[in-house]
Amino acid sequence: MPIFSFLLFVFISSFTPGPNNFLAMTYANQHGLKRSMKFCFGVAFGFFILTSLCSFFNVVLLNILPIIEFPLKTLGVAYMLYLAVKILTSKSSTNPSKKDNKNLFTVGISLQFVNPKGILFGLTVVSTFILPYYNSYSSFLLFSLFLGIVGLTSTFSWSLFGSMFQKFLLKHNQLFNIIMAVLLVFSAISIVIH
């Protein structure tokens, strides 16, 4: 396997802006770093499950992908637009430890199954870098674990940014929410265009 190409693809895809990273930063800004870690762990676990499924069922997924691509894209874009509206209309939380009923771990897991960037990334990395070179279930699981850890690292990095600049972001909360919402809308539009 071309390790350098694999790592370059994985890290660029994981650390660039997308729904996981935008939401990680937003949750850290709204709820604090400690609480946003639940979301980050949810993303990591959800992505581990997703890439494991991509590995084990890659042949089936590739055969039916033309059939499910449009509904999957539509669902993902709709969810991203919904998240953009939620961010745009959210009020700033001056108390980051304030409890609400949202289970950020579950949100992080669920997002992976409607996140077109994550799904297409999983399919691409598995079909391009894993299946041509490895065929054991243990290697599939190890790569899935590695990709989950990379997902945790990338969302944590964005959460850390949101947390470090929390006072600044709270002061400019409306502008921050507008920017995050616009970036999510841009992500959704880029998925529709491509």
Q: What is the pLDDT of residue 32?
A: 87
Q: What does each of the 194 residues of the chain score in pLDDT, given as a tens digit?
A: 788 888 888 887 788 778 898 899 989 988 889 999 999 999 999 999 999 998 887 756 656 666 766 776 677 677 768 877 877 887 655 444 455 567 999 999 999 998 888 888 888 788 788 877 887 889 989 999 999 999 999 999 999 988 887 778 768 878 877 887 887 788 778 767 76
Say how far apart CA 116 and CA 187 lie, in whole Å: 10
Q: What is the pLDDT of residue 94?
A: 46
Q: What is the pLDDT of residue 38?
A: 96
Q: What is the pLDDT of residue 101?
A: 62
Residues 6+ apart with CB under 8 A from 86: none
C-beta of residue 36 within 8 angstroms of C-beta of residue 162: yes
Q: What is the pLDDT of residue 72?
A: 62
Say how far apart CA 76 and CA 97 lie, in whole Å: 30
Q: What is the pLDDT of residue 145?
A: 97
C-beta of residue 115 within 8 angstroms of C-beta of residue 18: yes
Supply angle C-alpha 105, 106, 111, rounded to 5.
105
Say how far apart CA 26 and CA 91 lie, in whole Å: 12
Q: What is the pLDDT of residue 96?
A: 46
For the chain, which residues make up each domain, given as ranges? 3-76+95-166
